[in-house]
Amino acid sequence: MTKITEILLETFINIIKSFQSVEAEKPSINTSRKLPLNSSFSYPEEEAIVDVAIYPYKRGRVYFRGSWWFAQCERKIILLPGQMVHVVGINNITLLVEPFVSTF
């Protein structure tokens, strides 16, 4: 191999390694943090209806107060479309929800 080829190959390898280290250093989203709801929400009695299934720690979608919102549940359960949920918090534009538990 020529010296130029060796330098190019070494540079390419270093670039690939730098991308891999950036991916590894990405901070994870802290989904356990519950932020207080703003004053337009009535904490915690508001209910929403699941529109797109919400899988554990993944975003789905709910119908809440006349519009659709991204929603996420911090439990290891699947919330299915049509299911009622309680809005318990908000993280940026994602509502934090819990399953609705009937008391009768």
Q: What is the pLDDT of residues 69-88, one digit of tens each?
A: 999 999 999 999 999 999 98
**Taking 60 as the threshold, does the pLDDT of residue 41 lie above it?**
no
pTM of the predicted protein model: 0.57
Domains of the chain: which residue ranges? Answer: 47-99
Share the mean pLDDT of the chain.
77
Chain Cα centroid distance, residue 30 = 9
Of residues 68, 72, 77, the one with CA closest to residue 92: 72
**Taking 60 as the threshold, does the pLDDT of residue 90 lie above it?**
yes
CATH topology for 47-99?
Answer: OB fold (Dihydrolipoamide Acetyltransferase, E2P) (2.40.50)
